Structure 1
Amino acid sequence: MTPLLERLGALVHQSVRDDAARHGLLPIHVLVLGYLARANRYSDLPIAIAEYFGITRGTVSQSLAVLEGKGLLVKEPDERHGRRIHLRMTRAGRAVLNDSWTQRIEQELTSLAPGAAALEESLHGVLVTLQRLNGRRPFGVCSQCAHFLREPRGARCGLTGEALATEQTLKICREWTAAAGEAA
């Protein structure tokens, strides 16, 4: 199993390098854009990027400066939380991702329809194990979180008490916690 994971990791890494080079970027820049495409409003923060990738705040700051300078993202102040900055991809940033390895692999994986669920479950198990062994935050899909509350008028985060737009509930969240009886 280890050689298989090593090979998969190497191929993903090479694909990210190739995508980045096509756009005059470094691999971390493409990874940050991919992350932002999947992050909800609790996770589109510089600190969340550092936690997700296990990199320093300085590396995040430098990467964001490059992406902002190339017009691939913008920084927006949080209306409720003082100095907090949210990161939003621009149309140009989304265009970089539209031709990325993540799009290509997603298409291939969805063609495995009968076995896709089992494959995803197996890979999730590997991810959970690696996160636990490395002491990393789990990050998970908002609607699958222990804090997620479905209400007659929509959804709400039980941790923050804030209403959640449907779009946000489908994205990853840094505050995610496994529901009782589930593995993180």
Structure 2
Amino acid sequence: MNPSALLLERLGTLIHQSVRDDAARHGLLPIHVQVLGYLAQANRYSNLPIAIAEYFGITRGTVSQTLAVLERKGLVVKRPDPKHGRRIHLELTRAGRAVLEDSWAQRLDAALAAADGGGEGLEAGLRGLLTELQRLNGQRAFGICRQCVHFQGTPVNATCGLTGEPLAEEQTSRLCREWSAPAEAGS
């Protein structure tokens, strides 16, 4: 096995262990904590039950059961979409955000900040690896809104070229299920 593959496998194991520890500390399952973390990063096109299923590669039934637990524990609320009939958006409550304090994601951010070479080169390499694995597995890409081919304007005055809708600045730095990779320079 390639040494990089071994390192990635070990990193994945350590992250998974941290997620399990965080979940146990709050009386939750790992998927519950992962969904909370996802929702903390999701934009308005991605804070939907179907997007959660796509992002984690789980069934709608599993998403429904997960959301029922998170709602019952007061960690998320469902909000109807004013424009789209039966569509609901999911939002973290204060208690949901509190679960994410001192979480595995924050520890990972701190470790990346402290690591040598944890800058743009590492991010670009990991993004390329992720994109290729998603392609090989036939999965939807997801990505940061302002790094999408459909992003138009500036973060303060942005529009989604796919939907034609204006984007609030805070939405442009979040995950989007409609994300598409920009064309490579010179392609």
With the shorter chain as reference, the TM-score category is: over 0.9
Match of 1:47 in 2: 50
Match of 2:175 in 1: 172
Match of 1:146 in 2: 149
Distance in 1, matches of 2:103 and 2:155, equals 38
1:56 aligned to 2:59?
yes
Q: Do the aligned partners of residues 28 and 115 (structure 1) sit closer, same or farther apart at CA in structure 2, a change above 3 Å counting? A: closer
Are the aligned partners of 2:156 and 2:168 in contact in 1 as well (CA < 8 Å)?
Answer: no
* Cα offset, 1:180, TM superposition: 1.9
TM-score, structure 1 length as denominator? Answer: 0.94
Correspondence for 2:120 among 117, 120, 123: 117
Are the aligned partners of 2:54 and 2:140 in contact in 1 as well (CA < 8 Å)?
Answer: yes
Deviations 1:14-55 (A, max 9, x none): 111000000000000000000001000000000000000000
Long gaps (5+) in structure 2: none
* Cα offset, 1:6, TM superposition: 1.4
* Cα offset, 1:91, TM superposition: 0.5
Long gaps (5+) in structure 1: none
* Cα offset, 1:153, TM superposition: 7.5
Equivalent position amino acid for 1:175 in 2: E
Where has structure 1 moved over 3 Å in runs of 4 or more? Answer: 112-115
* Cα offset, 1:146, TM superposition: 1.0
Give the stretch that moved more between structures: 23-32 or 100-109. 100-109
1:68 aligned to 2:35?
no
Distance in 2, matches of 1:175 and 1:86, equals 15
Are the aligned partners of 2:49 and 2:63 in contact in 1 as well (CA < 8 Å)?
Answer: yes
Are the aligned partners of 2:145 and 2:151 in contact in 1 as well (CA < 8 Å)?
Answer: yes
Distance in 2, matches of 1:152 and 1:88, equals 22
Q: Do the aligned partners of residues 21 and 111 (structure 1) sit closer, same or farther apart at CA in structure 2, a change above 3 Å counting? A: same
Match of 2:108 in 1: 105
Q: Percent identical across equivalent pairs?
A: 69
Q: Do the aligned partners of residues 96 and 178 (structure 1) sit closer, same or farther apart at CA in structure 2, a change above 3 Å counting? A: same
Correspondence for 2:90 among 80, 87, 109: 87
Matched residue of 2:119: which SS? helix
* Cα offset, 1:122, TM superposition: 1.6
Distance in 2, matches of 1:108 and 1:153, equals 30
Distance in 2, matches of 1:165 and 1:5, equals 35
Equivalent position amino acid for 1:118 in 2: G
Equivalent position amino acid for 2:43 in 1: N
Distance in 1, matches of 2:155 and 2:25, equals 47
TM-score, structure 2 length as denominator? Answer: 0.93
Q: Do the aligned partners of residues 162 and 68 (structure 1) sit closer, same or farther apart at CA in structure 2, a change above 3 Å counting? A: same
